[in-house]
Amino acid sequence: MKINKYFYIVMITIILAIFGYHYKLNYDVAIQPPSEKWAKEVLVHKGDIKGLPSITKFKDNYMVAFSEGMNINLISIDPLGKVLKESSIPVNTEVPQNINIFVSEEGKLVLSYIIGGGDSGELTVSYIDEGLNVLDTTSVQGLRSYIKIDDNTLGAVYKEKIDLISLKENKVTTVNTGDDTFLASVVKYNNKDCIVYSNYFGEFSYFFLDNGVASEIKTGGAMSPSSRVRFSTMTSVINKDIVTNLIEYMYKSDYTGYKYVAFSLETGETLDSGEFPIKDRFAEKGYIYNGEGVTLATPVPYRNDKGTFLLSSTRDMPKGKNQTDIIEMPIEGNLGVASEVVSRTKAVSISPAIYEDTVVFVDPIKDGSAKLYITSTREDFKEVNNKPRFDEKVQVFVETSESLLFSLAYVITNGMTWIIPSVTLFSLLSLIEYRFSYGIRKAIFILTYIVTAIVKILAVKGFFFKKLQGTLPVNFTFLVGASAMAAISIVCLIYGYLNYKDDLEKNVLALSYTKPIFIDSFFNFSSICRFY
């Protein structure tokens, strides 16, 4: 029949138009950088990456160090994200932790890391040449942890002391802490390094390091101790004279969270402490940030902006989805404020490391496999890497195709709201339609279909437009959506009506109605599939 041929041509045209519309919307989102401040990421390595990487600038290029299995990998990357050279340093004992790569005051490339823990950790310091070869290595035994204080000084943390190791002068200055020293970090204050440390009881102390000379120890803030809570790492940032310490803890060995202690370096007074409170700014951009039970991970200090953490955080995205990205989180008052987004890979992004305006981070894929990316705020990096990419086109094509297929599922779940009642009504009418004249039967078909179409539009408004209000494009109003749904219904009505009236002797209402209403519902859900 010609009507079937024309109808299929119209339907193919509609589905292509719907696909093209949603492809364009998805593509416009996919090609965007994570924020105006940060560029698109560049993949620099894929492998068995573990722990936090480290990044520095050596001569004109960036050097990145990270653990891969039981080796430490070194990568030289040019300012635009191109990998120039890779090297691997075997460790062959345990997975190296707390890796730092930096350039000493003498212009030497230095790599430091720790093996083991408890009271038997081993700190290794290696000097690397431009070819990424190890020139010389020294080690320190029996420490609990260590911190990089500056490009010339490391702090080895023992049970009752902190040794300040000068790489330039090859000397050690000991600061007797007199406590069960556990966690330590460093912040800059008045052009001096401030070393903050705590003990197992959650009591904080600090001292200053000025030109290699340590000041007297001062008492800082404190947390309420708990036998069920075990602390693991600490990161600190400073705003004016207020230092905020973010401490990762494990509760009953199965829940990981973050507590914080904020105190003044001038007075030592504890200003606030407890669970780390969060505020968001994502709502202004169409995102909703879940402040309760929010997942934070791998915080590091963002030194370019005082009082700002760089960390991994889960965001609730439009359409009921969530995404774990690297974000900036400045401290405002006593709140961590979810601010600029740094990553946008749609995978779980963790373990950021920063050097001035450039960041590397890790996306774990599965056990034994992860991706390492680099991004930056520099304009030259943005100019090269913010251009549309072929893989973005492929990704958008797949996502749009999947959304169209999911429309079939929505026909079964939500579409039954109007399909089942209307099909039931047509089935009942089919039992007595032979009693009516052809004209009345045609009128029944048209009027019942129109009523069904109105019910469909109102139902879609109820469970779709109201639910997603505020996340839809500005031009995608209910009036626009209702007009599109009405146009699709008119096409399907004409198709069903012409088929029905073609042979009223044989055709029945129910069978002639079912096919067009299913097609109608599918195209309606296809037209809004991107927003599910």
User: How far apart, in Å, are the Cα atoms of 115 and each of 70, 74, 181?
Assistant: 10, 18, 19
pLDDT at 398: 92
| The length of the chain, given as a count of residues | 532
pLDDT of residue 293: 42
Show the tokens assigned to 222: 């404190």
Q: Where are the domains of the chain?
A: 2-28+395-531, 49-143, 171-276, 277-385
Answer yes or no: are the C-beta atoms of 182 and 223 closer than 8 Å.
no
183-205: b or e for each residue (b if 16 or more CB lie within 10 Å)? Answer: bbbbbebeeebbbbbbbeebbbb
Residue entry with tokens 């702090």: 155
Asked whether 414 and 521 are in contact (CB, 8 A), the reply is no
pLDDT tens for the chain, 532 residues long, are 566 777 788 888 888 888 888 898 889 989 999 999 999 999 999 999 988 999 999 989 999 999 998 899 999 999 999 999 999 998 877 888 999 999 887 788 999 999 987 778 899 999 998 888 898 999 999 898 999 998 889 999 998 999 999 888 888 999 999 878 888 999 999 889 999 999 887 889 999 998 888 999 999 888 876 667 778 888 999 988 889 988 888 776 666 778 889 999 988 888 888 887 776 555 444 343 444 445 678 888 886 557 898 988 887 665 556 788 999 888 887 778 888 899 999 889 999 999 999 999 999 998 889 999 999 999 999 999 999 999 999 999 998 888 888 777 776 667 677 778 877 877 887 788 778 888 888 888 888 889 888 888 888 777 677 666 666 666 777 788 788 888 888 888 888 888 888 878 778 878 888 888 888 888 877 776 655 5
Whole-angstrom distance between the N-terminal and C-terminal Cα of the chain? 36
Q: What is the phi/psi pair of residue 396, to 5°?
A: -65, -40
Indicate the angle between helix axes 509-527 and 390-413, nearest 10 degrees. 140
C-alpha separations of 196 from 242, 249, 281 in Å = 12, 18, 30
Report d(CA 522, CA 530) in Å as an integer: 14
Position 359: which residue type?
Answer: V
Task: Report pTM.
Answer: 0.84
